[in-house]
Amino acid sequence: MPDLLSPLSYYRATAPGTSFPALEGDIEAEVCVIGGGFAGMGTAASLMERGRQGVVLLEAETIGHGASGRNGGFVFGGFSLGERGLVDTVGLEAGRQLYQMTLDAVEHIRQRIARYGIDCDAVDGGIYWANWFDDERVLDAQQRFMADTLGVNWQRVSRAELAQKLDSQRYFGALYEENAFHFHPLKYAQGLAKAIAARGVAVHENSKVSAFAHEGGYWRVRTAQGSVKARELVVCCGGYIEKLYPRLASAILPIATYVMVTEPLGARLGEAMRTDAAVYDSRFAFDYYRPLKDSRILWGGRISIRDRSPQEVAQLLYHDMLKVYPQLKGTRVEYAWSGMMSYGRHKMPQLGRLPEGLWYGMGFGGHGVGPTTLAGDVLAAAICGEGERLARFGPWGLPPTGGSAGLLAAQLTYWYYELRDWLRQ
């Protein structure tokens, strides 16, 4: 373990960087999008791809500053709620439609990478859902549910077969999601920003919105150095919304998660992983990790209501890694960081339009790369008069999360399920 970690995340240190001007002066637009993460840029991109002109995107910091530039880089189907929770809430047919929308979003991301030539270290290696428990019924039940209920084939991998790919005593087989992939999320965010800017979307970084209001059929959005007068306004701020709009802020919990990246391992990578697939496990409080192209391992896990220092994050996740791969003892950690996710109380994305006409997309809850892209497409379609898919998210709405009491309840819930995982193993 190093005494001093890089002050940057691995993503920030290895992304080429982008630079877009801050908003200056008063401008007019058809649509103003607040938030330069995947949901905001997805909305702007989908509007652009539909031929809409006059789209402005405002980012308080830099493109991908929040969860979109800090996450594990897994691109796969599903929502944070989970497949069973989804079907239990809305029924079989609606559940199938919603899940399929996330699979379509995975393909949409692939298409955008190809269409716009985005160099984002995409690896079509699939994803393993590794069984942490010595109980084959875990895999049997999940495989049957995915196939029989959602029409999705996750391939069964025996313990012996998995051991050829992941040299760990910790796992008892896996399910393999072949059509999933993983990538460098910040490179993708920056590449998408460049693509939409080159095609007419006005992208402004360092343009934190201080206030907005509805004025005579238009929205007036104000920043420190300018304003936007827009017919439509979309808010996609997630865990970084702060007090911008209380009606939305009160409906999400900003929850921290942690990620670290090792030093380049060279041949030592093969002592642990002999696959280019990403991995997560079957616990509620699961690890997620993947090999990087420069022979490092990116490792993430845990959730908390508080940020931690990079050194604390590195220590926690390093020990989590050794529980799975003790042979990597002595590996140096070079990067560690945290970031804020936004969770709704129901763990589903919150997409819709408030009575005053404000569009919103948030609450992706740690499973956001596909659903944020889905959200952008759904919101753009609704703005263009096609609201059928947006209506599918109506059952969840914006229930209040309870502020600080809700945060404490979320942390206690996580600890409770973490204890259950420990007792079960």
Question: Mean pLDDT across the stretch 146-167?
Answer: 97
pLDDT tens-digit readout, 206-238: 999 999 999 889 999 999 999 999 999 999 998
- pLDDT tier at 253, thresholds 50, 70, 90: confident
Place of tokens 């040299």: 167
pLDDT tens-digit readout, 31-81: 999 999 999 999 999 999 999 999 999 999 999 999 999 999 999 999 999
Domain residue ranges of the chain, discontinuous segments joined by +: 10-71+186-252+345-413
pLDDT tens-digit readout, 128-146: 999 999 999 999 999 999 9
The mean of the pLDDT values for the chain is: 93
Q: What pLDDT score was predicted for residue 119?
A: 97
Report the candidate in 387, 381, 405, 389 with the shortest Cα–Cα distance to residue 46. Answer: 381
Q: What pLDDT score was predicted for residue 254?
A: 86
- pLDDT tier at 417, thresholds 50, 70, 90: low
Beta bridge partners of 227: 26, 222
CB 254 within 8 A of CB 340: yes
pLDDT tens-digit readout, 234-245: 999 988 888 888
**Residue 142 phi, psi (nearest 5):** -70, -40
Give the domain 10-71+186-252+345-413 fold: FAD/NAD(P)-binding domain (3.50.50)
- pLDDT tier at 421, thresholds 50, 70, 90: low
Q: What pLDDT score was predicted for residue 84?
A: 95
CB 317 within 8 A of CB 260: yes
pLDDT tens-digit readout, 328-363: 999 999 999 998 888 888 999 999 999 999 999 999
In angstroms, the first-to-last Cα distance of the chain is 28
**Alpha-carbon dihedral 382, 386, 390, 391, rounded to 10 degrees:** 130
